[in-house]
């Protein structure tokens, strides 16, 4: 973070970027869990 010198727009953009990253990580976690469950069935 750049500290308090960030503009409101920069904070909004960073928040949007972090939300997207969170979605990607949650999707990846779900896919990993599904593969793990499939492997446990073998």
CA 22 distance to own-chain centroid: 2
The CA-based angle 22-24-25, given to 5 degrees, is 65
Q: Is the pTM of this model over 0.75?
A: no
Is residue 11 exposed (0-12), middle (13-18) or buried (19+ Cβ within 10 Å)? exposed
For position 2, what pLDDT does the model report? 58
Per-residue pLDDT of the chain (42 residues; tens, 9 = 90+): 555 788 999 999 999 999 999 999 999 999 999 999 999 998
């Amino acid at each position: 973070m750049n500290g308090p010198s960030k503009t409101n727009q920069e904070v909004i953009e960073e928040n949007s970027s972090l939300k997207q990253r969170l979605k990607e990580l949650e999707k990846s976690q779900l896919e990993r869990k599904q593969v793990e469950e499939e492997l446990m069935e073998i």
